[in-house]
Amino acid sequence: MMNRRNFLRNSALGLAAAGAATRGSGDLFANPFSKPVGVQLYTVRDDLQKDVSGTIKKVAAIGYKEVEIYDLYGMTAKQFGQILKDNGLTAPSGHYMTRNIRNTWEKDIANAKELGIKYMVNAILDPEERKSFDDYKRLAELFTKAAEQTQKAGIQYCYHNHNFEFKKYGDTTAYDYLLKTMDPKLVKYEMDCFWVIHAGQDPVALFKKHPGRFPLLHIKDMKDKPAPVQEFDAKLGLFAEVGQGTIDWKPIFAAAPTGGMKHYYVEEDYCERAPLDSIKMSYEYLHKLTV
């Protein structure tokens, strides 16, 4: 029979192992829904201009596993893809402009395939492209054609919002129009939760109203609680690191699967500290966030 000393020793070992397992599972199941934390590389654009390889290495060292690209920094897709691969990173999605669709779309699609990109996203509309509701009608046609081309290549086309799409036109908004007009299979959406909230809208309500339409999310925090606006006003002092601002992220992430979330990316348009420090703070918050 086991004597008291052996029993206590074995019990202590068992408790230590259980504690280690719990800590391990906590690490394993950290990050909302155990999905890798991604970052939109636009946040560290100034660092990338100085040193692409070194910056990507620092991004990976923070713990990021996924990035969303917006440029190839003068490289070929193969060259940039190798830098990502060497640092254990993948790029599920990339940002593009309407000028890409009009001028270089076939080449961009080929580069996206080379990089393994699954989502090609319209990043933002220039002011001259969105002067009227008729402009959005024309854009819906352009995006549909672009999406038909990406679909043939096995890539999903998406639209990324800011706050100006929520400006009222009669009894609707440009965002409502795009959601209702474009084929859900052809065009999906990257919801920038910050800009939705800044426009006076609710990400959770949009997830529930349009289930499955939002495979991508942008996650950035709001420093204060300014009055909602539907005019683009990105500037220093508006943004905060994720978890350091006023947005309650738990209900958003809890509802995100209803919206169809597959990937999410930290982004901070303007940082009040070194961008690499900012994305580290955001990563550390999200890495520990459970839903």
Beta strands 119-122; 156-160: pairing state = parallel
Other beta carbons within 10 angstroms of residue 101's beta carbon come to 21
Q: How far is CA 284 from the centre of its chain?
A: 16
Give the tens place of pLDDT for each residue, 184-237. Answer: 999 999 999 999 999 999 999 999 999 999 999 999 999 999 999 999 999 999
Per CATH, the architecture of 35-288 is what? Alpha-Beta Barrel (3.20)
- Closest to 221 measured CA to CA, from 165, 291, 166, 271: 271
The stretch 25-29 carries a mean pLDDT of: 42
Q: Please tell me the pTM assigned to this model.
A: 0.90
Give the tens place of pLDDT for each residue, 226-239. Answer: 999 999 999 999 99
* Helical H segments across the chain, by residue range: 4-28, 45-50, 52-62, 77-86, 98-103, 105-115, 133-152, 174-181, 193-198, 203-209, 249-259, 275-288
Question: Tokens representing 258?
Answer: 């209803």
Angle between helix 275-288 and 52-62 (nearest 10): 30
- Amino acid code (one letter) for 52: V
Other beta carbons within 10 angstroms of residue 271's beta carbon come to 19
Check: CB of residue 267 under 8 Å from CB of residue 40. yes
- Closest to 153 measured CA to CA, from 99, 117, 202, 102: 117
In this prediction, residue 291 carries a pLDDT of 87
Integer Cα distance of 114 and 134 in angstroms: 36
Question: Tokens representing 131?
Answer: 């002067």
Angle between helix 77-86 and 105-115 (nearest 10): 30
Question: Tokens representing 120?
Answer: 């090609």
Give the tens place of pLDDT for each residue, 55-102. Answer: 999 999 999 999 999 999 999 999 999 999 999 999 999 999 999 999
For the chain, the distance separating the N- and C-terminal CA atoms, rounded to the nearest angstrom, is 46
In this prediction, residue 30 carries a pLDDT of 64
Beta strands 221-222; 239-240: pairing state = antiparallel
* Residue 170 pLDDT exceeds 50: yes
* Residue 31 pLDDT exceeds 50: yes
Q: Tokens 């779309």: give the residue.
A: 105
* Residue 24 pLDDT exceeds 50: no
* Residue 8 pLDDT exceeds 50: no
Instruction: Give the Cα-Cα-Cα angle 198, 170, 168 (nearest 5 degrees).
Output: 10
Instruction: Give the Cα-Cα-Cα angle 212, 142, 186 (nearest 5 degrees).
Output: 25
